[in-house]
Amino acid sequence: MKYLIGLIVTLIVYVIVSYLVSKKVKNADDYFVAGRNAPTLLITGSLVASFIGVGLFMGDVGESYSGFFAPIIVAVGVLSVGYIVGSIFFGRYLRRSEANTIPEYFGKRFDSKALKLLASITGSFIMIVYSLSCVQGIGSLMAVVTGLDYKICVAIAVLVFTLITVLSGAKGVLITDTIMYALFSVAAIVGAFFIAAEAGGWIETVKEMANYDVVEGILSGSGNLDYFYPTGTENMIWAVGYGIAWMAVLMVAPWQSSRYLMAKNEHTVIRSGIIASASVFVIEFLMCMAGVFMNKINPGMETPSNALVWASMNIMPSLLGVIILSGVLASAISSATTFLSLVSSNIAVDIMKVDEPKKQVAWGKIIAIIIAVIVLLLCVWNPPQIFWITYLGATIVARSWLPVSIASVWSKRVTKVGAFASMLSGFLVSAVMKIVVVTNNISLPIYLDPFFVGIAVSIIALIVGSALTKVTDKEKEERAKLFVKPEEDDSPKEVRKTKALVFATIPLGIIITIVMLVLWVIPYLSGLA
């Protein structure tokens, strides 16, 4: 009962915050892009909260519990760079477009209504699919913790994130995201070290698990060879490929890059990307190590994805357990609110083409409710498959949007035809291949993974389509606008702050490396000796 009360109180707080924020939502700009005045803290909080969800706290923790720690950490090391690369090479130029949505940006940049519509349809589809994992994760978590029926838990979750979105729009989502970011960051740090202490101490447990015979290779560089691929080389190739796919997601996915449209200035964009990159890596490392330690505390769990939930309810003090579970819940709710907000704005602004600002907001709210009902029905019908549904939904955007997004800024030769062909072919090839592979349990060579095939097809279509057509004067004009730097971004004070943070990434990287050596590599090697 205490856990149920804790989770319910958490959800009520988020709704109350959204209601209070709604009093400050005055127009369509406030509702869809938070007035384009969000500071670094809110952009960072929303970036991280929109990425971290049950995919980490249940999916990645479960994978690490099963012996796949090293490949997951390698993948995270690669993907976290996406925030920095994306903010510098795409995000700040995206903000200069002054678009309200990412599809609107593509439509303006290439002077193409067809591309705008395609981007809106593919983006909405991807976010709806990805949101399934969030809602299913919330339902699974609440069902385990409270004993309530899974369907009831899903209904409660959908009701809450719909209220948050409808009440306050993007402005409310940014604020609640940041609150949730703070909550699950604290949960990750405190929870990881408490679990390590229960396992016998961090360093001593790592040494002991170097020769752990329950799950061989649980902390080795190759990972457990009985879990996924049979060789360490294949596991590492998968990790790098998976990391690149998710790096692309963090660079251009609508639920990530759209945050930059809300930033106060370009310096906010770059600073947020740097801080988000470090935050994601640290949280992932701590939680995945906690998953490994859980295997020692409670080996042989039938559902590894529930490892953190079990720890919160069985070995932690009640208050800490409630905080951890509330953090996990917050991570999922934050992602769901972002997806719902973006899908509703895409449909209202880009597909329905509602022009009047007040009607845009009204239709955005109506569409949010309709989409929420659809998600509810799909989640009730489809059993929880958290890790693979997340993988399926999110990485499709990497294949279909990445080449177009980068080329839209950095290529003088790309045309609307090439961009359209690239996005469409990348989406179709990726979606069809992934669905066929997952549903039929097909094992492909790593180099034929749908990500590699999909992005290759997308790049080829971009090149061929652009080679067969000419760039119009309007396209040249729109691209030129992206390189006009706003005057307010030349503020010496803002420049100094950004440079200081950029330079700080070097010692920060060194510190993170030392921490990994101290908490993982050195004690692991010592245990092998």
Tokens of 513: 């490396």
Q: Which residue has the tokens 């003090």?
A: 317
Tokens of 332: 């999922």
Tokens of 461: 């279509």
Spatial separation of the C-alpha atoms in residues 151 and 440, rounded to whole Å? 27
3-state SS string for 438-465: HHCCCCCCHHHCHHHHHHHHHHHHHHHH
Q: Which amino acid is located at 396 in the chain?
A: I
User: 386: pLDDT confidence band, cut at 50, 70 and 90?
Assistant: very low
pLDDT tens digits for range 390-414: 555 666 777 789 999 999 999 999 9
- For the chain, what percent of residues have pLDDT higher than 90? 56
**Higher pLDDT, residue 323 or 291:** 291
Residue 110 has pLDDT above 70, yes or no: yes
User: 388: pLDDT confidence band, cut at 50, 70 and 90?
Assistant: low
* CB 374 within 8 Å of CB 166: no
**Higher pLDDT, residue 451 or 405:** 405
Give the pLDDT of residue 393: 61
Spatial separation of the C-alpha atoms in residues 337 and 176, rounded to whole Å? 9
Q: Which residue has the tokens 């845009």?
A: 360
User: 444: pLDDT confidence band, cut at 50, 70 and 90?
Assistant: confident
Tokens of 143: 């069902």
User: For 384, which DSSP code?
Assistant: P
| Residue 221 main-chain phi, psi, to 5 deg | -65, -25
Spatial separation of the C-alpha atoms in residues 191 and 526, rounded to whole Å? 25
User: For 263, which DSSP code?
Assistant: B
pLDDT tens digits for range 257-311: 999 999 999 999 999 999 999 999 999 999 999 999 999 999 989 989 889 989 9
Spatial separation of the C-alpha atoms in residues 368 and 158, rounded to whole Å? 11
pLDDT tens digits for range 73-102: 999 999 999 999 999 999 999 999 999 999
Residue 208 has pLDDT above 70, yes or no: yes
Q: Which of 238, 227, 224 is nearest to 445 (CA)?
A: 238
To 10 degrees, what angle do helices 113-146 and 357-381 make? Answer: 50
Spatial separation of the C-alpha atoms in residues 28 and 470, rounded to whole Å? 36
Q: Which of 467, 350, 306, 451 is nearest to 391 (CA)?
A: 451
- Residues 6 or more apart whose Cβ sits within 8 Å of residue 203: 519, 523
Residue 60 has pLDDT above 50, yes or no: yes
Lowest mean pLDDT among 41-45, 264-268, 369-373, 442-446: 442-446
Measured CA distances, 324 to 251, 398, 501 (Å): 29, 31, 30
Give the pLDDT of residue 383: 52
**Helix boundaries (H) for 382-491:** 386-410, 416-439, 450-467, 473-481
Averaged pLDDT of the chain: 89
Residue 446 has pLDDT above 80, yes or no: no
Give the pLDDT of residue 392: 58
pLDDT tens digits for range 147-185: 889 889 999 999 999 999 999 999 999 999 999 899 889
